[in-house]
């Protein structure tokens, strides 16, 4: 009777060992699958954030408050220097205007820099996180070349660069 008992104990031990190995393999598979999913989700999040940054830059490009116009005809990718100057000072001084634009621009900095001939920089909107919290954000800059027009002088155009920098919380 003892040999049969030992045989059945061996079979039970083999079954338990196979089950343990099976669950270890399932656990390793789940860990691998979770890692792949995290990477995939992070990539999708990054793509969506970049799309949002481009959308925001396009919204700024078509703000009627700063676009060049002549006889009610709007010029593409052209900003009026006087309008830029007044809008930037208006948003920075008036809290209601800042809150109005905060819905569209969230945490970002929007500047237009005159490149040629070298000139000034207009800060349209500035709402960036505190310096000590900056490490918790992705910083996504978007640059668009634009034309700047000084309407007080005839044919006084210059080249500028629209810089929209978005601050997006890391996940």
Condensed to tens digits (0 to 9), the pLDDT of residues 103-152 reads: 889 899 999 999 988 888 999 999 988 888 888 998 999 999 999 988 77
User: Which tokens sit at 14?
Assistant: 């083999």
pLDDT score at 71: 81
Arithmetic mean of pLDDT, 89-110: 91
- pTM greater than 0.85: no
pLDDT confidence bin for 164, thresholds 50/70/90: very high
Q: Are 67 and 80 in contact (CB under 8 A)?
A: yes
* Cα 47 to Cα 21, 41, 43, 61, 140, distances in angstroms: 39, 10, 6, 21, 11
Arithmetic mean of pLDDT, 16-45: 91
Domain boundaries, the chain: 33-169
pLDDT confidence bin for 3, thresholds 50/70/90: low
Strand partners, 85: none
Strand partners, 137: 169
Q: Are 81 and 91 in contact (CB under 8 A)?
A: no
* Distance between CA atoms of residues 114 and 158, nearest Å: 7
pLDDT cut 70: percent of the chain above it: 96
* Distance between CA atoms of residues 79 and 110, nearest Å: 14
* Distance between CA atoms of residues 155 and 153, nearest Å: 6
User: Which tokens sit at 45?
Assistant: 């999040």
Greater model confidence, 156 or 161? 161
Residue with tokens 């083999």: 14
pLDDT score at 111: 94
Query: For the sheet containing 137-150, what is the strand order?
Result: 67-70, 73-80, 137-150, 156-169, 108-116, 121-126
Greater model confidence, 171 or 111? 111
Please tell me the total number of residues recorded for the chain in this structure: 171
pLDDT score at 70: 80
Task: Report the candidate in 161, 156, 140 with the shortest Cα–Cα distance to residue 60.
Answer: 161
pLDDT in tens, 66-75: 988 888 888 8
């Amino acid at each position: 009777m003892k040999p049969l008992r030992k045989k059945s104990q061996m079979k039970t031990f083999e079954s338990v060992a196979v089950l343990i190995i099976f669950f270890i393999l399932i656990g390793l598979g789940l860990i691998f699958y979770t890692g792949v999913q995290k990477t995939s989700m992070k990539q999708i999040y990054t793509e969506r954030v970049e799309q949002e940054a481009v959308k925001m830059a396009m919204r700024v490009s078509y703000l009627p408050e700063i676009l060049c116009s002549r006889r009610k005809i709007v010029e593409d990718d052209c900003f009026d220097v006087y309008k830029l100057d007044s809008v930037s000072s208006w948003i920075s001084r008036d809290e209601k205007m800042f809150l109005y634009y905060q819905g569209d621009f969230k945490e970002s900095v929007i500047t237009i820099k005159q490149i040629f001939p070298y000139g000034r920089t207009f800060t349209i909107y500035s709402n960036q996180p505190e310096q000590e919290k900056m490490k918790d954000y992705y910083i996504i800059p978007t640059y668009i070349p634009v034309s700047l027009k000084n309407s007080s002088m005839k044919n006084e155009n210059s080249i500028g660069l629209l810089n929209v920098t978005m601050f997006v919380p890391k996940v």
